[in-house]
Amino acid sequence: MRDITLEMAQSLSKLIRFPSVGGEPADGAPFGADVKDCLNYFLSLAESFGFGTRNYDGYAGEVVFGEGEDFAILCHLDVVPAGGNWSRPPFSGDIDFSEGRIYGRGAVDDKGPAIACLFAMKALKDGGFRPARTVKLIVGCNEESGWRCLEHYKKCARLPEEGFSPDAEFPVIYAEKGIMHVEFRFPAHGFSDLTGGGATNVVCDLCSVVCPADEAKLAKYMLTFENGRVISRGKSAHGSTPERGKNAISPVLLYLGEYKAHELLFENFFHLKGVRDETGELTFSPNVVRQENGFYYVACDIRYPVTYDRLKILEKFESEHIPYKILHEQAPSYVDRDSPLVKNLCAVYEEVTRRRAQPVAIGGGTYARALSRGVAFGPVDVGDADVVHRPDEFITFSQLEKCYDIYKLALERLTKSR
């Protein structure tokens, strides 16, 4: 193992130990004390490498290298809730040398890539590289739940026009689907405290409700009854790929006899399944449920193709007179496949990995869409385990090392030494 890999692994382990899930705001900590501490650690590490940094009031941080036209690397330090079914503590930052892995929530999404980019910048600086552009490594603290971090950044500074976000897949993501988080409301009768899911962009892996036990229905829907609650256990996955998970809300609705709600949410009632273009198929994933004041609310993660009109989706909801509200949305992102940025990054990927590269589209949403000319670039590659937003998230030493090599060469090519 290279010395640089061990150094990155140790720094990443420390970064993971900050449970940077959004929490209660406080002075200088708009997303909670843990997120603030995580940001401060990352910026202090960058300062120890000799970089200039800036903390934007706890919303985001910035590491600066070079002079000239700005070039952005957009990462995030916040993480989704850990969820259940971990075989080791999710915020331990456990380094397993026998397996060659660093474990913990955020190892891949997105603390590992942030560390790889920072160390790539350090290696270039220490080697005498003088970029002809100003590289701004911007780390946000609210990417997973609202992007208020970038909104605040843009109030305080000018966001670069071009750059990449190491928060998706290799080789290069040239397009990202549009995103809508929509919450539907349904009347609740005969049950209480229906609850499930931790984040709208994560497939619900645990749902429960207080109601009488019915042994036949418990067996039919493969549920359990524990301490007065009906329990459903599923399998988490990223909200953009719900087919990779098992939604725990669905069987609970069937158990409760909420057939209309189940039809609307899980049975393609709106005829959205099959809507697709070159950027992929529309996905619809009901991921969070809560109950209050005689109603229950289900928040759904919708990812729609770049060429599809979002208003067509809303028209379908309104035609059924179902109460709903939009919690969050982001417009689709698209960069020409033949642009210099995409071509250069594909060439870098091919040179480091010796694999042919073709740009692809995804359903995930990254900071890349905040830029006029932004793409997503790694860290997940062909053959890597699908661990994002799942229990026992990890990144391997070899993944971390490969990201470092790719990002270092990418910065050399895209910013040129003076």
Positions annotated as catalytic residues are 78, 143
* Phi, psi of 242, deg, nearest 5: -65, -25
CB-based contact 120:411 (threshold 8 Å): yes
Q: Which residues contact residue 337 at a Cβ distance below 8 angstroms, ignoring those fewer than 6 apart?
A: 174, 359
CA separation for the pair 342, 8 (Å, rounded): 27
Burial 169-185 (b: 16+ CB within 10 A, else e): bbbbbbbbbbbbbbbbe
Tokens standing for 371?
Answer: 């830029």
Q: What is the DSSP string of 376-402?
A: E--EE-TT----TTSTT-EEEHHHHHH
Tokens standing for 153?
Answer: 């950044």
CA separation for the pair 180, 161 (Å, rounded): 24
CB-based contact 131:418 (threshold 8 Å): yes
Closest by CA position to 77, among listed 45, 123, 47:
45
Rg (the chain; Cα; Å): 22
Angle at 221 between CA 215 and CA 224, to 5 degrees: 55
CA separation for the pair 290, 292 (Å, rounded): 7
Beta bridge partners of 181: 301, 328
